[in-house]
Structure 1
Amino acid sequence: MNSARSFSLALRFALREMRGGLSGFYIFLACIALGVAAIGGVNSVAGSVSSGITAQGQSILGGDISFALNQREVTPAERAFIEKQGKMAASATMRSMARMPDGSDQSLVEVKAVDDAYPLYGTLKVSPQQSLADMTREKDGAYGAAVSRDFLDRMGLSLGARVLLGSQTFELRALIENEPDLLSSGFNFAPRFLVSLEGLHAAGLVQPGSLVNHIYKVALPDGAPDAAIANVRRQAATGFPDAGWNIRTRANAAPALSANVERFSQFLTLVGLTALIVGGVGVANAVRAYLDGKRGVIATFKSLGAPARFAVLVYLIQIMVIGLIGIAIGLVLAAIIPYATGAALAAYLPVAAGGGFFPGALALAAIFGLVTTLAFAIIPLGRARDIPATALFREQGGEQRGRPALFYLGLAILLIAALAGLALYVAYDRHITAIFIVSAIAAFGVLRLAVGNIHRPGALTPSVVLSLGLGLTLMVAIALIDGNLRRQVTENIPAQAPDFFFVDIQNKDMGDFTKLVRGIVPDGKLTSGPMLRGRIVAFNGQNVRDMKIPPEAAWVLRGDRGITFAEKVPENATLSEGAWWPADYSGEPLVSFSGREGKELGLKLGDRVTVNVLGRNITAKIASFREVQWETLAMNFVMVFSPNTFAGAPATWLATLTIPDGEKNLAPDVLRQVTKTWPAITTVSVSDALDVANNLLSQLATAIRAAASIALAASVLVLGGALAAGNRARVHDAVVLKTLGATRATLIAAYVMEYMLLGLATAIFALVAGGVAGWYVVVEIMKLKAIFLPDVALMTVVIALVLTVGFGLAGTWRVLGQKPAQVLRSL
């Protein structure tokens, strides 16, 4: 029989057998549909958000191109170049303290000062609506300001109230409803305080060395293509190589948001892949159970002379048809998800992401679904092929659970490798994806070793532990990561961190500042040091833009970094390699680099680091590496330079204050007196910052748990299918035992014990696998200390027991209702 005729005949047989419906494959369908919908939906939503960012790039950036400088304004030559390109809008951002005139309260604010050209694109919406000029101009001795609602809530104020910013009075004239270029500024730590550039300068906040970011945005002539914008960027880079400005275009308007969307979509894709893998277990269970029920048919094929591969082909066609139906259902759901989530996303993202059709995302999901179906179906098909016809005619005990032929085993391995390769290919962070793949493969291997010798043929142990265990593993890992992060933020960090950071202390005020603080808190620990802002531009003469930087170290090169200089090793750091310079050192500039970050960047002693500070490129040789405990939130820097490097530079001072436990009540006095005496000093309360971080963690953890529930839902579906598939054998066992005198209560007690043991085995598997995964993320990736959380273990055991016993008894109750005579007659 030639291949074409064989396939045609197999197709006819397959379709004829499927006329009876999809009984036994509903779990199969649901699992594949759920996994495909998750992967396709997530990537479609990510595509929708990304396309929204691209389409609204001008509004989000506030221009076609922007030039940002730290701690300095543009030179006349730089300004002339920028203004030549098109209409320019200048702005400045910084953190400062807004306070009540009577000194009764104060709040950290994100100050944004703009000129009359703001915004170049988009619309600033305020309430009550008014022109920017009227809203910010000076009137009756006060400049105007527009603020975000959280500032009013924090201070307990309403519009019309007056507050002090620096040395100037500002009247709160409007509430900000929409700031068009908010996303381009990244994460805002404090409430927005919008004023005019004139008002900012009148407040006296901009001093030499102040941490202020000057931004110049340009609207090019209408219809300027991306190529023209790229050309402006090249001219700026070549014409002003030492400017040190951060240039951003409308094509990359919100890089932080884009990166976070990529990261979150990768996580959700892995969740969807987990659901598919769990669903794969359901596929294997369904195919095995289905083929067990078709033993007579397969035996008939073989008895009539059909080759073994013919039976495999018949049922492979059926399985793929059912799999394609599940994939189609998943794709329909995935295509709907971007439209269904548009309104919800609008509440969190100021970007229109109102849906769209993304064939690439759907095709990716379909491929994942197709490969998963084949990978998990091929082993049961291979086993069915190799079972002798005589064994297939046996009613009980003839199931073969041995290893299939090498061809099928090799094909399964190739398909799993293809699945892993595809996941790596589309990954945003291949390191994380590789860990996920290795962990998944290890979980299957460990489970096989663990249960291979403790279950009887046909027992539910492998199916139940794999199906429910993988879903619970993901939940355990997330819970442990979240719990350790929360513990770090709410317990560990507060116990070690200072109470206050003081920023922008002028050199001339440092003595008086120290005297005032020590006068209020004599036993407090006050640490201080000079600080500048600089951007790393090159290593060993090679521009960092041309280098491949590992993801874990990318933050060091992202934007400007705080840098300092010191004669001695900082007290909260220890040298791990190299030597410190003498106190009177006057040779070539030297720098001490943070050890972990230096290692991640591939640096070594003697390498050269070039930083741009205040428009000057300065190159220093790495003289040492330091071990820095970032989690203490103490005053730490990636780079500490020799003092001669920045001789004469207009540095400001940074200080931290740790108040003894018995004197925490003095914190409000410190805040009030420092803000009143030096309005330009920005005071950051660490406890307030940690509250913000904890709230963000809570929101993120809720979103992640909700997403991870997809995998748990797939686990529950497969669990139900696995338990239902075992009911056929249980009918026989229950009837035999009832015939021998066992009561219903005895059988129920036996089954409850069995399901409890299954649930306990599943919980142990999930705790071990999830615990290892959580530990690795916390210790190796986040570089934190990990602890075991008993409440997570208890929750896992309870969920596993409730699901296994609940689903098990639901099916067993019907089994126990079978009449012995009726079942015995059918044997």
Structure 2
Amino acid sequence: MGSRGVAWWSAEPVHGTLPSSLPGRRRGFGLPLTVRLALRELRGGLSGFVVFIACIAIGVAAIAGVTSISRSLGDGLGREGRRILGGDLTYSLINREATPAETAILAEHGRLSVIARLRAMAVAADGGATLVELKAVDGTYPAVGHFATDPQAPAADLLATKDGAFGAVADPALLIRLGLKVGDRLTVAGKPLVIRASLVSEPDLISAGIGFGPRLIVSMEALRATGLGELGSLNRWIYRLQLPGSSDADLETASHAIGKALPDAGWETRSRLNADPRFAKSVERFTQFLTLVGLTALIVGGVGVANAVNAFVERKRGSIATLKSVGAPGSQVVVLYLTQVMMIAGFSIAIGLTVGGALPFLIDAVFHEQLPLPLEPTLAPGELALAAAYGLLTALAFAILPLGRAHDIPVSGLFRDTVDPSAQRTRLRYKAILVLTLLALAGLALATAFDRRVALIFMAAAAVSFGLLRLVASGLMAAARRLPHPRAAAPRMALANLHRPGALTPAFTLSLGLGVTLLVTLSVIDANITQALTRSLPAKAPNLFFLDIPSRESDAFTTFLGGKAPTAKLERVPMLRGRIIALDGVPVEAIKPPEEAAWVLDGDRGITTADAVPDGSTLTEGKWWTEEEGRMPKLSFEADLGKALGLHIGSTVTVNVLGRTLTTSIANFRKVEWRSLGINFVMVFSPGTFRGAPHSDLATLTLPNGVDPAAEAAILRDVAKAFPSVTSVRVKDALETVDNLVRKLTLAIRGASAVAVVASLLVLAGAVAAGHRARLYDAVVLKVLGATRRRLMLAYGLEYGALGLAAALFGLLAGTLAGWAIVTRVMRLDFALDLGGASLAAGGAVVLALLIGLGGTWRILGQKPAPYLRQV
């Protein structure tokens, strides 16, 4: 009986094999028999697998939902690319308009429309002034899409000149800020504008990017009247082309012909197929991060899977022993129960895929009118398959070892008391399966990652966290085993429960420790971002920035500010815009820069000239030019970015400025303190490089007493009156805009992280449920010996409190270290230790451990001993 030589699936009746009444009497053990037996086992229901199902379903739903929404956004951007761009192709220039020859070549290929974007100061009749994002459009606007206003009217009518004043359409936020209404007047650069409507929506809003002020839309004639669009001023001219043909081939043909005709125009090109590459890239980055958070939830839930399978194997010890007693080999028993577990995993994954796949449709149905982004809800088979693969691999990884132990459960398990189960070692083959599964899981995460470096960091952090938490659990059990036994019964029992066979210590520590670590990490990052945006930066940053100061008025502007704020520090530098088009002769299109430096080659950059090392910069390599050397073109490049791009002293950089191409060599590298928010540039040229080129000046004003809202408002108002063409920006307003954006992103991250926390709580509940039988036996015996419910609750409370405290201390330390690494290494901000929110999260973990643990044992303690004593 149980001999290896007996085939329990044999068709011939052999002593000790399965009786003929059992199903599946066929020659050769095949998968159908395994499936049939597994299904027969499942007829009894899914008792004990509720946490298993919930953990897998939640993790899969998180990953499927995030990736499906990302796919829907990508499809929406592709479908709405023409509307977002306002045409099939766009060509944009910084600081200059296209020449008549350039516009003529563009117009040869289709219908051409023009808009201009810039920042300006809007001044109300009462003297109130505010920064606005000014958008000037021609008579064809909108060439594509719907322009909604209140009251509704054609854009040409709303923006036309009537009674000597140009019309304008204003963002409702601008009306509120200046206390205006439709029909009131304001001035921009000294020119009067009548607000004829408030803005409801514009079809090309996404392509404008993040604005630091409310939108004000005017006609192209109004912009020219203000003089703000003159050569050298900080503005962007966008030329939109609608092609007569709609195919991708027509798009490629026109793009190639224009590029060949105007190779040195220096403009940034986009097509409807890639309407907003920066936004799409941001979506991909954010999707990867949220996917990794979802994978964290799935891995945390994997602990619940392991607990559930462990409990399942314990419940099936009798059945396993019975199967072995009639000749079933251990490997076939493992296959049978693994099939059953993976069937349950498949059911869980189906639930998760249903929820995650439906999420884009649900969001579109509920928030369609409020969504600022073009969402195209779709079932994404590839993304859903990815989520399913994550779920299957996670279930297999956490189930294989508990199931592998069933291989060597002896037939004596039929007769041995289940309170003292035999300790079994896991065979090498099952450990190998675990390793291969984990490698497959890591490979999948790496292969589908937008940024493989981030994925590698995540995997390393997950592995280290699991290893450290296992050490913490082992250390806690070892310490409990060696500590002197208290005299009081409740502490003595609590201490014994921490290290006894089948203790909850590993599961509690692992699940709760991971959850607390995640919460503390987010809390530390959030606290440091708030610190940087609201306290640290404003203390050392300028109060005001002034843009588009005409070079001919620079001295007068400096004198004016000196009279208004004589004790303030004023910095002023010339500023142009240029676009890098080649490095060491290699076009940027052929360069694949590292992620942290890619933004330097993406679009136009601010550039300046200087005869000395700018404030906030430190020379790290090379030497600064002398006055004589500065008459020739030379370049100083930011050190970290130069290193990331593979540049060195003597490397050549080719830039396009105002439509002209210039190549110069790097004379030195500088380390720039970006966090000061002072005037800093990636590229600083020698004074002789752009001598005579039209430009505007950029200035900053730093008040001696830090942030002073009253003084800042007075200066803004006076500058707007005296120099109406100068754009003024309060640093506080800019920081608030960034802070609002960061908080929205943080809210999304917290929402995704909540999934991991819920998984942690499910694992805790599952661990308590898995220990139900042992706790029930303890409670029955102790109650017979005279223990009261209060004393037992005290013992369990001490046990769960100790576990919660250990997990909280680990999470507090590990989360703080992780937050420090992200803040200092990734965000490159100063780190300030603020454990207020982190301590709250850790303290909450202790409370949750107590509530979940005691809540799970309360019902056990209420059981009558008699029915259970009959079974002991």
Asked if TM exceeds 0.5, the reply is: yes
Give the aligned partner of residue 492 of structure 1: 536
- Is the CA contact 1:299–1:393 (under 8 Å) kept in the aligned structure 2? no
State the Cα distance separating 1:663 from its structure 2 match.
8.7
**Partners in 2 of 1:562 and 1:519 — Cα distance?**
29
Q: 2:208 aligns with which of 182, 185, 207?
A: 185
SS of structure 1 residue aligned to 2:162 = coil
1:581 aligns with 2:604: no
Give the aligned partner of residue 790 of structure 2: 745
**Partners in 2 of 1:271 and 1:357 — Cα distance?**
22
- Which deviates more, 664-673 or 439-448? 664-673
State the Cα distance separating 1:587 from its structure 2 match.
6.4
Q: 1:202 aligns with which of 225, 234, 259?
A: 225
- Is the CA contact 1:147–1:172 (under 8 Å) kept in the aligned structure 2? yes
Give the aligned partner of residue 736 of structure 1: 781
**Partners in 1 of 2:352 and 2:226 — Cα distance?**
58
Matched residue type, 1:406: L
- C-alpha change, 1:662 and 1:225, in structure 2 (3 Å) is closer
- Which deviates more, 301-310 or 322-331? 301-310
- Is the CA contact 1:276–1:372 (under 8 Å) kept in the aligned structure 2? yes
1:302 aligns with 2:324: yes
1:711 aligns with 2:741: no
Give the aligned partner of residue 185 of structure 2: 162
**Partners in 1 of 2:555 and 2:133 — Cα distance?**
27
**Partners in 2 of 1:153 and 1:400 — Cα distance?**
75
**Partners in 2 of 1:400 and 1:489 — Cα distance?**
59
Matched residue type, 1:825: R
**Partners in 1 of 2:54 and 2:408 — Cα distance?**
29
**Partners in 1 of 2:179 and 2:783 — Cα distance?**
74
Give the aligned partner of residue 65 of structure 2: 41
State the Cα distance separating 1:156 from its structure 2 match.
1.2
SS of structure 1 residue aligned to 2:794 = helix
**Partners in 2 of 1:666 and 1:471 — Cα distance?**
47
Give the aligned partner of residue 822 of structure 1: 867
- C-alpha change, 1:315 and 1:771, in structure 2 (3 Å) is same
**Partners in 2 of 1:769 and 1:69 — Cα distance?**
48
Matched residue type, 2:517: T
1:359 aligns with 2:381: yes
- C-alpha change, 1:655 and 1:587, in structure 2 (3 Å) is closer
**Partners in 1 of 2:630 and 2:378 — Cα distance?**
62
- Is the CA contact 2:96–2:230 (under 8 Å) kept in the aligned structure 1? no
**Partners in 1 of 2:870 and 2:455 — Cα distance?**
55
Matched residue type, 1:272: G
- Is the CA contact 2:169–2:217 (under 8 Å) kept in the aligned structure 1? yes
Give the aligned partner of residue 24 of structure 2: none
Q: 1:26 aligns with which of 50, 63, 77?
A: 50
- C-alpha change, 1:637 and 1:330, in structure 2 (3 Å) is same
Give the aligned partner of residue 496 of structure 2: none
**Partners in 1 of 2:274 and 2:170 — Cα distance?**
27
- Is the CA contact 1:66–1:216 (under 8 Å) kept in the aligned structure 2? yes
- C-alpha change, 1:416 and 1:173, in structure 2 (3 Å) is same
1:614 aligns with 2:676: no
1:462-501 matched pairs, under 5 angstroms: 462-501=506-545
Give the aligned partner of residue 726 of structure 1: 771
State the Cα distance separating 1:40 from its structure 2 match.
1.1
SS of structure 1 residue aligned to 2:108 = helix
1:563-595 deviation per Cα after TM superposition (whole angstroms, max 9, x unaligned) = 001010012211111110002215652111111
Give the aligned partner of residue 540 of structure 1: 584
Q: 2:670 aligns with which of 622, 626, 630?
A: 626
Identity %: 49
State the Cα distance separating 1:769 from its structure 2 match.
2.8
1:796-807 matched pairs, under 5 angstroms: 796-807=841-852
**Partners in 2 of 1:555 and 1:626 — Cα distance?**
18
User: How many correspondences in the alignment?
Assistant: 825
Q: 1:678 aligns with which of 720, 723, 730?
A: 723
- C-alpha change, 1:19 and 1:381, in structure 2 (3 Å) is same
SS of structure 1 residue aligned to 2:669 = strand
SS of structure 1 residue aligned to 2:334 = helix
Give the aligned partner of residue 266 of structure 1: 288
State the Cα distance separating 1:396 from its structure 2 match.
4.2
1:602-639 deviation per Cα after TM superposition (whole angstroms, max 9, x unaligned) = 22222111111011111121111111111110111011
State the Cα distance separating 1:453 from its structure 2 match.
4.0
CA root-mean-square deviation: 1.8
**Partners in 2 of 1:343 and 1:707 — Cα distance?**
21
SS of structure 1 residue aligned to 2:629 = coil
Give the aligned partner of residue 66 of structure 1: 90
Segments of structure 2 that go 5 or more residues without pairing to the other structure are 1-6, 10-26, 478-498
State the Cα distance separating 1:69 from its structure 2 match.
0.6
1:620-659 matched pairs, under 5 angstroms: 620-659=664-703
State the Cα distance separating 1:399 from its structure 2 match.
4.2
- Is the CA contact 2:631–2:686 (under 8 Å) kept in the aligned structure 1? no
SS of structure 2 residue aligned to 1:534 = strand
Give the aligned partner of residue 14 of structure 1: 38
State the Cα distance separating 1:660 from its structure 2 match.
1.1
SS of structure 2 residue aligned to 1:85 = coil
1:437 aligns with 2:481: no
- C-alpha change, 1:519 and 1:253, in structure 2 (3 Å) is same
SS of structure 1 residue aligned to 2:152 = coil
Matched residue type, 2:84: I
**Partners in 2 of 1:393 and 1:765 — Cα distance?**
42
Give the aligned partner of residue 123 of structure 2: 99
- Which deviates more, 583-592 or 689-698? 583-592
- Is the CA contact 2:212–2:733 (under 8 Å) kept in the aligned structure 1? no
Q: 2:78 aligns with which of 51, 54, 58?
A: 54
1:724-763 deviation per Cα after TM superposition (whole angstroms, max 9, x unaligned) = 1112111122223233332222111111111111111121
Matched residue type, 2:747: T
- C-alpha change, 1:605 and 1:349, in structure 2 (3 Å) is farther
Provide TM-score, normalisation by structure 2.
Answer: 0.92
SS of structure 2 residue aligned to 1:564 = strand
Give the aligned partner of residue 329 of structure 1: 351
**Partners in 2 of 1:594 and 1:618 — Cα distance?**
19
Give the aligned partner of residue 613 of structure 2: 569
**Partners in 2 of 1:625 and 1:401 — Cα distance?**
65
State the Cα distance separating 1:236 from its structure 2 match.
2.5
Give the aligned partner of residue 145 of structure 1: 168
State the Cα distance separating 1:400 from its structure 2 match.
5.8
- Is the CA contact 1:578–1:624 (under 8 Å) kept in the aligned structure 2? yes
- Is the CA contact 2:580–2:656 (under 8 Å) kept in the aligned structure 1? yes
1:741-790 deviation per Cα after TM superposition (whole angstroms, max 9, x unaligned) = 32222111111111111111121222233222222211111111222222
**Partners in 1 of 2:376 and 2:109 — Cα distance?**
33
1:590 aligns with 2:634: yes
1:458 aligns with 2:486: no
Q: 1:240 aligns with which of 250, 262, 278?
A: 262
- Is the CA contact 2:564–2:715 (under 8 Å) kept in the aligned structure 1? yes
State the Cα distance separating 1:287 from its structure 2 match.
0.4
- Is the CA contact 1:295–1:393 (under 8 Å) kept in the aligned structure 2? no
Matched residue type, 1:462: P
Matched residue type, 2:387: A
1:198-248 deviation per Cα after TM superposition (whole angstroms, max 9, x unaligned) = 110111212331001111101100x42112212222223232221110010
Matched residue type, 1:816: L
- C-alpha change, 1:145 and 1:755, in structure 2 (3 Å) is same
1:539-558 matched pairs, under 5 angstroms: 539-558=583-602
**Partners in 2 of 1:556 and 1:617 — Cα distance?**
17
Segments of structure 1 that go 5 or more residues without pairing to the other structure are none
Q: 1:695 aligns with which of 711, 732, 740?
A: 740
Matched residue type, 1:513: F
SS of structure 1 residue aligned to 2:161 = coil
State the Cα distance separating 1:598 from its structure 2 match.
1.5
SS of structure 2 residue aligned to 1:648 = coil
State the Cα distance separating 1:444 from its structure 2 match.
0.9
Give the aligned partner of residue 666 of structure 1: 711
- C-alpha change, 1:402 and 1:653, in structure 2 (3 Å) is farther
Give the aligned partner of residue 134 of structure 1: 157
**Partners in 1 of 2:565 and 2:169 — Cα distance?**
36
- C-alpha change, 1:557 and 1:662, in structure 2 (3 Å) is closer
**Partners in 1 of 2:613 and 2:556 — Cα distance?**
25
- C-alpha change, 1:773 and 1:347, in structure 2 (3 Å) is farther
